[in-house]
Amino acid sequence: MNIPPINLKAQYKKVKKEMLKSIHEILDEQKLILGKYCTELETAIAGFSGVPCAVSCANGTDALILCLMALGIKSGDEVITTPFTFFSTASSIALVGATPVFVDIEPENMHINPALIEGVITPKTKAIIIVHLFGKLCEMEQICAIGKKHGIPIVEDMAQSLGASQNGKMSGSFGDIAAISFYPTKNLGGIGEGGMVLSNDTALGEKVKKLRVHGMGSIPYHHEMLGLNSRLDEIKACALVAKFPYLELWNRKRIENAQYYNRKLKGLPLKLPVLKGDLSHIIHQYVFRLERRDELLNFLKEKGIATGIYYPVPLHLQDCFLHLGYKKGDLPVAEEAARTSLAIPAYPELTKAEKDYIVAAIKEFFAR
């Protein structure tokens, strides 16, 4: 049996008719960028996430950069973040000229360890970027309390957590500003690149709107500030509008798949993800940890099962950040996670037969 990491063709089938209709309409009208579909998507996601401001943009990395630019982060500033995440969480900091300050993760959820944050705060600290890794919410009460105490804004990297919530409070509504990615493999994935910034602060939201169009305000070709060209195309927005109504159903199916795996894999020498049985973890990736990670990866590959390593190199050890002076052993929990984490397919369209095949293969690996 061949099991891919994700099944985008099945998703497309569901929305093909509506998507093609909208795409034809856009091409007939030739309103191609930041039009009614972008507005519809922004309104839908703002309402869903319970925030007043949503500003679409070109991709999730730009969304993070726009968050930092809106907060005024610049050269000489420090931004605290996690080393165990996708690259752009930290590259966005460096790209606006600031210095990423990495804090080790906690061993259970592999999130930034809140207990270590205050130890690295300096007068230069101007923001904290947290990541709801693999779709699981961070300990936001604790993190927001630290931000409040020190007057440091919190940026939520919610590229993997759109729809995650705790007691009805949605991902993206906890901090000061938040970044979404609509990269095709995310839980709400588009037909190309796409991103969005969310904020509870209307002034920040208005600033992001200017920053995404070269810093222009209401008077064309008058630039109030330096900005990016980071607009979203209508064709990409209409695809997301078509898929958005399925997001909650898809997230629930991901959770069900994860719960199924946790039940079936219990007792094996694996460190399974801790699931609360609510929407606080919408399973962007189902990741467990084991010492013999690479062996299992190869075994599953031979069985036709795609796996993923998220993430093989913690960011403090990336070549491009060597000048920051971190060394192997500095952030041991993140380094261990990078060495032992393995993701197995958990996408919504996975069948029971496929899940059982994956479970049987993992059991066979340990029974050999």
Ligand X SMILES: *Cc1c(COP(=O)(O)O)cnc(C)c1O
The mark string for 163-192 relative to ligand X (x by CB under 6 A, - otherwise) is: ------------------x-x---------
Report 89-128 residues binding ligand X (CB under 6 A): 89
Contact 80, 117 (CB under 8 A): yes
**Options 11, 22, 49, 61; binder of ligand X; rule CB under 6 A:** 61
3-state secondary structure of 221: coil
How many residues make contact with ligand X (CB under 6 A)? Answer: 15
Under rule CB under 6 A, residue 85 binds ligand X? yes
The mark string for 128-157 relative to ligand X (x by CB under 6 A, - otherwise) is: ---x-------------------------x
Under rule CB under 6 A, residue 285 binds ligand X? no
3-state secondary structure of 139: coil
Report 187-216 residues binding ligand X (CB under 6 A): 193, 195
Q: Which residue is nearest to ligand X (CB)?
A: 60
Helix count and strand count (H, E) for the chain: 12, 11
Burial class (CB in 10 A: 0-12, 13-18, 19+), 246: middle
Under rule CB under 6 A, residue 60 binds ligand X? yes
Instruction: Please enumerate, as own/partner, the contacts of 7-11 that have beta carbons within 8 Å and a separation of 24 or more.
Output: 7/347, 7/349, 7/350, 8/184, 8/185, 8/189, 10/349, 11/189, 11/243, 11/246, 11/250, 11/348, 11/349
* DSSP secondary structure letters along 65-88: HHHHHHTT--TT-EEEE-SSS-TH
**Options 22, 88, 109, 307; binder of ligand X; rule CB under 6 A:** 88
Under rule CB under 6 A, residue 297 binds ligand X? no
Kindly state the smallest distance separating residue 251's Cβ from ligand X, in Å.
16
- The residues of the shown chain that bind ligand X, judged by CB under 6 A, are 59-61, 85-86, 88-89, 131, 157, 159-160, 181, 183, 193, 195
